[in-house]
Structure formats: structure tokens, C-alpha cells
Amino acid sequence: MRAPSARPGRGDRRARGRGDRRTCARRDPRRLRYDWLAGSALDRPRLPGDIDDAGGAVARWVFVEADAAPESAFEEARRAEEPAWPGPAATVVAADLEAPDAGERIERVAGLPLVRGIRQLLQDLPGERLAAPALRRGLAAVARAGLVLDACVRRTRLDGLDRPLGDVHEDVTVLDRLGTPPVDEGLGSDAGRARPTGLRRLARHERLVVKLSGLLAEARDAATLRGRDPDLPRAALDLSGPERCLPGSDRPVSTGAGGRTTTAAWIALVPEVVGPTDRPRGAAGTAREVHRITD
């Protein structure tokens, strides 16, 4: 099975450069508003020179929006493409999918050269809003623009994505953070056994891809996270297959914060979990295809 490919969008979105691809975030709270960072250890600039490239193992990145305040969203996307930061091969940018002018906002950001996808954090939305007409109109606008949808949804809301993906958004959807599995409880717990039901339903959508990204927010401590690391991506691979999975660092939230893990440590899981035969696709091939990275 080939990994799902997004339809060609507007503009020239070809990326230049070589090397592996991982997701990352670039934040500068001195220049853009990031309300969720206030008072946290992450409330400081994260600039190109701060990138954890796993000792040179990662040469190119897919930048994923970092939840800037709505009025800063376009500027965040524009800054991610500045020549001073040569790393990004593609960008996934923010848009309020429920806004009355969501279509216009998506069209605007789609004009930036490296934009391949749209993300709105859906993880805290109640289930009824996932099925509401406002969000469905936004999802339709993402599909019309030929862009990937990054869906960051908690495991208790996975069922809420099923119908919108089938009815409205028929393009590629990337499910972030493995659908937030119960790291602390483990896959053998009641919560762990219940989660595959929602994942299996979503996996029926052939254009769904699962992002093997960091899970710091789901873990109580470093030891628990490290103990669960191999099992969680392996479970996602069992459902979707390596051709429908791509790696992500979730940096700096899940790497480089509190010394819990690093980009290199997360990358090291790929050959262990995927295996040598599928490693090229699991390590970078699916990410390149999904984000239309051609060189």
C-alpha cells in the first residue's frame, strides 16, 4: 500500500534540501503571542539555532504551528519560511476552522510557498463541536485547498472525527500524537483496551496517517514515558502499517523539556519499532509523500 498523497494545492510548494524529516516548532514569544506558554518552562524563544537535530541526523524539518494567538497565526507561518531558518522543507500552519471566514484564511496561508497543511488544536473541543456545521465548513475549505489536515484530538474524541473525515475532508489527515494513548495506564488498562476501537474506525479512512510523535503531555514522569515508548508506536503501526505512519518530535513540548527525552532518543525508536525493511518509509518516506517534498 502506498502512503496517501495530498492533491496538488495552489502555488509552487516544492521544498529544497536533503535529509530526514521530522516535525518541530519554532516559537518566539517576544515577537508573537503564545498565551498557553505563560508561566511555563517553555516560555522562552525557540529559534533556529536551538533546533535539536539529533547530532546532525535530521537535516530538514516539517514545521508545525505552535498555537500562536489567532492574530499572530499568519505571521507565525510567514516567519517559518524566512531564509534565516533554512531547515523547513514544508509547513503546517494554524487556521481557525470554525471561524466564519475560515475559507479566506486558509486561502491566504495556502499562498505561502511551503504550506502543505492546516492544523487547529481540536483536543479540547466538546464532541458536538466536532460534528457542528462550522467545523465541517472549515474542513471542506482545507480539502478544497488541497492541504493536509493535522488533527490533534484526544483519544476520547477519536470517534468524533470519523464522520467528518468521511463526509467532508477526503484528503490526507495526519492524526497527531498517536491519538494520545493512555501512557500512564498502559495499553493493557481499561483505557488502553478501549482506545483501539476509535483508532480502528479512523484507520478505515485510507487517507489517514498516524504521527508517531512525543507523548510528554500524557506521561506522569520520564520513567513511565521511556517504559511505554516502544509499545505505543508499535500499536499504531499494527493498525495502520508503516506506510501510513510518520515520525514527529513534538519539540520542544515532548523533547528537550525537563530532560525527559531528546529528538535522538525518539528517532532511535523508528528502526526498533518499524524494522529494517520498512525503516526508509517509516523514517522519512511517508512524511515526504504526505507533505509533497520532492527533493
Is residue 13 one of the residues assigned to a domain? no
Domain assignment of residue 8, yes or no: no
Domain with residue 99: its CATH number is 3.20.20.140
Question: What pLDDT does 101 receive?
Answer: 95
Q: Both ends of the chain: CA-CA distance in Å?
A: 22
- 201 falls within a domain: yes
pTM: 0.82
The answer to whether residue 6 is domain-embedded is no
Q: Is residue 16 part of a domain?
A: no
Residue 4 domain-assigned (yes or no): no
Q: Structurally, how many domains does the chain consist of?
A: 1
Range of the domain at 94: 21-290
List the chain pLDDT tens, one digit each, 295 residues.
Answer: 445 655 544 333 333 333 334 444 555 666 788 888 888 878 887 777 777 777 777 778 888 998 888 888 899 999 888 877 767 899 999 999 999 999 999 999 999 999 999 999 888 888 888 889 999 999 999 999 999 999 998 888 888 888 888 777 678 899 998 888 888 888 888 888 877 777 888 888 888 998 887 677 677 776 777 777 677 777 777 777 778 888 887 777 776 555 556 777 766 666 666 666 655 455 578 888 999 998 7
The pLDDT value recorded for residue 4 is 60
